[in-house]
C-alpha cells in the first residue's frame, strides 16, 4: 500500500509540474549584411560588399561572399537573456571554429560586439 501511495504521489508531482519553455527563434533563411558597427559608429555596407549567411534548420550554415561560397559548417546558438525583444547569447561556428556574441530579433541578427571597438555585423533576413 505504501508503494502504491508513493507511486501515485510521485506521478501527481511530476504531472503537475509545468515548465514554460520559451519558443526557439527561427533562424532559418538567408541573412544579408547591412551594416558594421565599431569604433566611430555604424558603416552602411555597399551592395557589392554584402555577404550573406544561409542558415538551415539542421544547424548548418553557408557563408556567401560576393555570390561565391566562402565557408560551410555547423553552428550552435546559446541564448542567455532577453531585452527589448532581442535574445542575447553566443553563436559558435565550426568553420573556422570561433564563438562570438549573438543577438536575434525577428528579422535581424547581430554577430559580434562593438564593446572595446570590436566590430558587430548586422544582418537582416532576405524576404522572398
**Which tens digit of pLDDT belongs to each residue from 65-83?**
888 889 999 999 999 999 9
Per-residue pLDDT for 119 more than 50?
Answer: yes
Per-residue pLDDT for 19 more than 50?
Answer: no
Mean pLDDT of 27-45: 85
Dist. CA 99–CA 102, nearest whole Å: 9
Predicted TM-score (pTM) of this structure: 0.73
Cβ atoms of 81 and 88 within 8 Å: the answer is yes
| DSSP state for residue 84 in the 8-state scheme | T
Amino acid at each position: 500500500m505504501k508503494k502504491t501511495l508513493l507511486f501515485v504521489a510521485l506521478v501527481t508531482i511530476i504531472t503537475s509540474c509545468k515548465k514554460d519553455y520559451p519558443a526557439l527563434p527561427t533562424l532559418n533563411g538567408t541573412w544579408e549584411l547591412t551594416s558594421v558597427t565599431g569604433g566611430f559608429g555604424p558603416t552602411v555596407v555597399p551592395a557589392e560588399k554584402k555577404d550573406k549567411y544561409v542558415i538551415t534548420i539542421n544547424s548548418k550554415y553557408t557563408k556567401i561572399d560576393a555570390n561565391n561560397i566562402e565557408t560551410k559548417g555547423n553552428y550552435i546558438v546559446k541564448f542567455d537573456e532577453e531585452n527589448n525583444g532581442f535574445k542575447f547569447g553566443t553563436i559558435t561556428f565550426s568553420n573556422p571554429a570561433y564563438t562570438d556574441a549573438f543577438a536575434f530579433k525577428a528579422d535581424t541578427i547581430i554577430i559580434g560586439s562593438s564593446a572595446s571597438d570590436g566590430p558587430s555585423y548586422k544582418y537582416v533576413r532576405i524576404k522572398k
